[in-house]
Chains A and B, each alone.
Chain A
Amino acid sequence: MMTLGGYHIKLQRRTNLPGWKAAMISVLAVLFGLALFSLIFLQAGQDPVEIYRQIFKYAFFNSYGLGLTINRFIFLALASFAFIIPMRAGLWNIGMPGQLYLGVLAAFGVAYLFGGKAGNLSAPGVVIIPLMILAAMIAGGLFGAISGFLKGKWNVNEIVVTMMLNFIAFYLVAFMIKDGGPFMNLGGRGESFELPEAARAPMTGDFPITLWFVFILTIVLAVLFARMSLGYQIKAFGKSPMAARYAGVKPFFIAVLVFALGGAIAGLAGYHYFAAVPGVYKIARTYGYFGDLSFYGVICGLISLGNPIATLIIALLFGGLSIGGRYAQGKLHLGFGVDFALMGVLMISLVAFQFFYNYQILITKKEKRLDVAVSD
């Protein structure tokens, strides 16, 4: 408790956090992060306001930039959902990179099995594409389920396990696409073969069908957590595993389920980026970059507090910042990794603002007992 002028300023633990207040804090956190990040622009001798203007203009108002933004938005939204489902169960899934790598490998594996490497597909796209999508989800789901299983059965720390699995999957991809691995393209360039046209994800208008997956998943997740018994069980477990267990919820089941679901969605994110984004359609040499980009899902998930609709908005924002940031990076000759730096700054800003989710500031006049509470 501090005294400033004629006022007492006191910090007090919250007992209730209405949705709009939480949203406000999240917005403030993002703004603060952006403001902090502008220091980098200042250091490069540029005017931050002008830079941000250019970033947003490119990301959202330039037809080419918008296209990139939407594609990245899809990727980030999926990565966020992959993080959010375990998060609501109180578990940390930072294994999105690994799960998406496995998803990609499975999808490309299906294409490979149908002769995709050589370029002549033995079945029509209508058969292959759904199989690819399914394979991506199953592979990602199974890979995620490993962490869920270990956690549920033996309470093994899921943070370390998912991180280790990330590296394992990373090398698995390298094995498959480099040094003469099975998926390596015929030109030997250390990247995978290119998907033949029939195996590429169909587009609706300018965007791949994966955009619809995002919308469908948003609705599914919203309904799951708001109305369904399963969603209730997940939330209860996330709030208090002991109380949930007492109420009959099975911890093992929840752990495996949420990680399987999260992993499946991450697998879908992998499918999206490498098999659905126009201009890519292969596992690039720099695949690691996209794996690491999925960590944005962690930030999105924390800011949105697990709310699927808020996640969409935030993923769109981050998608734009990320694309616009790359653009600015190129234009201003900033070093590589500007979007990663942004990721870092936003995260730390968010952690700091976590404080406001838990506490409120009460300001009371010193002499009289009038509680003029100005709470945050």
Chain B
Amino acid sequence: MAKPNPQVEPIELHGDIWKHIRPGEVVLDAQGITKRYPGGVLANDHIDFKVRAGEIHAILGENGAGKTTLMSILFGLLQPDEGEIYVRGLKTRFRSPEDAIKMGIGMVHQHRKLIPAHSVLENILLGHPRSKGMMNLKLAEEEIMALAERYGFEIDPRAKVWQLTEGEKQVVEIVKALYRGAKILILDEPTSALTPLETDRLLESIENMTQDALGVVPFITHKLPVVLAISDEVTILRQGKVVDRLKTAGATEQILAQKMVGRPVIFELRKGPMEPGEPVLQVEGLTARNNKDVIALKNVSFTVREGEILGVAGVAGNGQHELAEVLFGLRELEGGRILFNGQDITGASVLERWQLGMGYTPSERTEVGSIPDFTLVENVAMNYYFDSRYNHRGFLDYKGLRGLTEEIIEEFDVATPGPDVKIQTLSGGNLQKIILGRVLSRQPKLVIANLPAQGLDVGATEFVQRKLLEARAQKAAVILISEDLDEILSLSDWIAPMYEGEIVAMIPGSEAKKDEIGAMIAGVHQEEGA
């Protein structure tokens, strides 16, 4: 385990508050934190926890358990309704992130808080005292490189952020927080977007920071193996309350999961055997560019058959998103052909694809998959306004659509007061369920599911996965795009890891091994890894 480079000293920004820290000392003490949202939802219910210097204290909980709210409060993005926060014994109130930063709290967010168009240096300097007046870029660059070296990070200050991988962006954010003098580092879902290799490197760096006796790092994660591997102590949240606090040493995944969800959790999803049928989708040589006009798909070819699930695995930004869009006609193809049931649909419009029997659940549920200001019925109409069952000579049969919506609500267990409320009132899980229900109700022959279970809690995830398996059992072809290797492994008949716009291999589900796939999506070549 590497130690921080003693030659390089970090910059001290906060004066007396952080002098003479003893390892094991309580540096952050949150007591009775309570936060209520409009509508009466209690996001945080009298939460207490303590963070000690040199320790890694993980916060674990399902989506909606209140983790994000808690961390936002600790970072000054939200104000608690009740409760106190003590930093090294000093009672403090964070009215804005600026207050939190001044007290030595740094945060690295789940969804990168960086400006893609700016350089690494500009991003790190943003808001930093060093950037007052005319920016002294040279001095800042030196200090930042020194800091990075101390903890073993590699960064290129001149690179533009949009060019970096997720792992590299995260490093930038960490360095940014440290450069601002953070002594307590809050990491929000730090490993969710990383390859297994990057995850290991991150965990090593975190160890480094704790060795420095000052960097203290609470985790927030629902990746149970990571929690066990790295943390010293775990606080478990459920429905806004602290349900337990344990030393990680004696815990197992089962115990943690049970406490998170409140009931025993089954980790295996049963997938029945299926005889694959006729090819439904054949793509040859697909090439396309992304929004930055860089080639994102390079000569992709594959076939999917009836009753098969093709799992496209990979870390975000390797072309999966562009693949989904190209298949559905939402992005221009620069080269290649798409054959659907033997028919060349390369030039077909989006509407034609729906009508021919393709279906797509996008990853952007509120921007693309649904219209927030429309009611549930109007949202369901998105896939039916052209359908002659509900469109009679240009007039829409809203009554019939309402009935259809009610059916979908029931079959997909959507929690909502009724079909006439606006869809923005639905929680993430329910929104995804109704989108999925809407698409699957058309009984498409091909379903493209882009990150269908992302951000959903265990219950909703299970439901979504079950529905995809049902579609498969009904002889649909399914393309599942996911960043969750466990999900890919448990659902797919074939696995196609993607890296930098190319499909690295086509591996039968039964033969796939997790670390092999993990290496492929990280760009490690077969020759080296095996």
**Which residues of A are in contact with B by a Cβ distance under 8 Å?**
10, 12, 15-16, 227-230, 232-233, 236, 239-240, 242-250, 362, 371
Contacts and interface: CB of A to CB of B under 8 A. Distances in A.
Contacts of A242: 364, 367-368
B302 interface: no
Contact of B395 (A227, A233, A236): A227
Contacts of A239: 371-374
A247 B330 contact: no
Contacts of B364: 242
B385 A245 contact: no
Contacts of B421: 16
A362 to B, nearest CB: 8
Nearest to A248: B351
B279 interface: no
B183 to A, nearest CB: 31
Contacts of B398: 227
A248 B386 contact: yes
B422 A243 contact: no
Interface string B419-457: 001101100000000000000000000000000000000
Question: Which 8 A-B residue pairs are closest in the complex by CB-CB distance?
Answer: A248-B351, A247-B382, A248-B350, A240-B371, A229-B385, A246-B368, A243-B371, A239-B371
Given A15-B422, A232-B381, A242-B368, 12 more contacts: A10-B38, A15-B424, A16-B422, A227-B396, A229-B385, A230-B394, A232-B396, A236-B374, A239-B374, A243-B369, A243-B382, A246-B350
A12 B40 CA distance: 13
B247 to A, nearest CB: 38
Contacts of B370: 243
B354 interface: yes
Contacts of A233: 385
Contacts of B378: 232, 236
Given A16-B422, A229-B386, A240-B371, A248 B354 contact: yes
B25 to A, nearest CB: 36
B351 A250 contact: yes
A371 to B, nearest CB: 8
A240 B394 CA distance: 21
A137 B368 CA distance: 36
Interface in B309-346: 328, 330
Nearest to B398: A227
Interface in B40-69: 40
Contacts, number: 76
B360 A246 contact: yes
Contacts of B351: 248-250
Given A246-B360, A246-B362, A236 B350 contact: no
A371 B351 CA distance: 47
Interface string B196-233: 00000000000000000000000000000000000000
Contacts of A16: 421-422, 425
Contacts of B360: 246
A247 B442 CA distance: 13
B96 interface: no
Interface string B347-365: 0011111100000101010
10 contacts: A15-B424, A228-B395, A229-B395, A232-B381, A243-B370, A244-B371, A245-B350, A246-B360, A248-B351, A371-B40
Nearest to B325: A246
Q: Which applies to chain B's interface (DSSP): helix, strand, loop or mixed? A: mixed
Nearest to A15: B425
Contacts of B350: 245-248
A232 B381 CA distance: 9
Contacts of B490: none
A246 B352 CA distance: 12
Most buried by B among A239, A246, A248, A249: A246
A219 to B, nearest CB: 14
A10 B362 CA distance: 36
A239 B370 CA distance: 10
B1 to A, nearest CB: 47
A244 B382 CA distance: 8
B355 to A, nearest CB: 8
B299 interface: no
Contact of A240 (B38, B367, B425): B367
B422 A12 contact: no
A248 B360 CA distance: 11
A250 B422 contact: no
B478 to A, nearest CB: 19
A145 B371 CA distance: 27
A15 B421 CA distance: 9
A362 B38 CA distance: 10
Nearest to B375: A16
B461 interface: no
B371 A236 contact: yes
A246 B370 CA distance: 9
Contacts of A243: 367-371, 382
Contacts of B349: 248, 250
A38 B178 CA distance: 60
A16 B372 CA distance: 11
B391 A229 contact: yes
B383 interface: yes
A49 B369 CA distance: 53
A12 B391 contact: no
Contacts of A228: 394-396
A372 B352 CA distance: 52
Given A239-B373, A239-B374, A242-B367, A247 B385 contact: yes
A131 B453 CA distance: 60
A161 B350 CA distance: 29
A209 B368 CA distance: 45
A248 B350 CA distance: 5
Given A245-B330, A245-B350, A236 B396 contact: no
B394 A229 contact: yes
A12 B37 CA distance: 11
A236 B381 CA distance: 10
Contacts of A230: 394
Contacts of B385: 229, 232-233, 247
Contacts of A247: 350, 354, 382-383, 385
Nearest to A371: B40
A167 B485 CA distance: 60
Nearest to B424: A15
Interface in B115-149: none
A248 B348 CA distance: 11
Contacts of B391: 229
A245 B371 CA distance: 11
A236 B382 contact: yes
B416 to A, nearest CB: 13
Nearest to B40: A371
Interface string B388-417: 000100111010000000000000000000
